[in-house]
Amino acid sequence: MRYLTPSFAIGALHRGQEIEQFLGGFDRGEQHIIRWAALGRGKDRITLYLSEAVDAGTDSFLDVSEFPPLDPDDESWGKVIGTAASPGEALALAEHHLGASRDRWVNQGVICSEYKDYRAARSTNEPLM
């Protein structure tokens, strides 16, 4: 099972683990841009980040964290969208601001598998996220 149930996502955040969600992509001029969200626990709050990167993937290069960022200022973690006091509030924040789905969160690092599936769907013209 790749996706975390909402209760597992909340549990991961309670334990200080980061969770991520692939949000799809869009075309900007001649470039294809991909987006993903991350929720990470800080000292007192959970921060919601949005990463947007130029789709530089190949069949053997799927690490989205290594793709060139759309905005060079967002190179490390992505753009901070907001913070929340609790894991439940953080999930709601991601849903409200980024259109994230409560049941499509994955553990940190699994986002590359999500991108691989997205890439395969794009190449076969299946419906995209």
Could you tell me if residue 129 is inside a domain?
no
Q: Which domain holds residue 57?
A: 6-123
Q: How much is the pTM?
A: 0.90
What string of DSSP letters covers the chain?
--SPPHHHHHHHHHTT--EEEEEEEEEETTEEEEEEEEEEE-SSSEEEEEEEEE---BTTB--GGGSPBSSGGGSSS-EEEEEESSHHHHHHHHHHHH---TT--EETTTHHHHHHHHHHHHHTTPPP-
- Residue 126 confidence class, pLDDT cut points 50, 70, 90: low
Could you tell me if residue 72 is inside a domain?
yes
Could you tell me if residue 26 is inside a domain?
yes
Could you tell me if residue 128 is inside a domain?
no
Could you tell me if residue 92 is inside a domain?
yes
Domain count along the chain: 1
Could you tell me if residue 59 is inside a domain?
yes
Could you tell me if residue 70 is inside a domain?
yes
27-66 tens-digit pLDDT? 999 999 999 999 999 889 999 999 999 999 998 999 999 9
Could you tell me if residue 44 is inside a domain?
yes
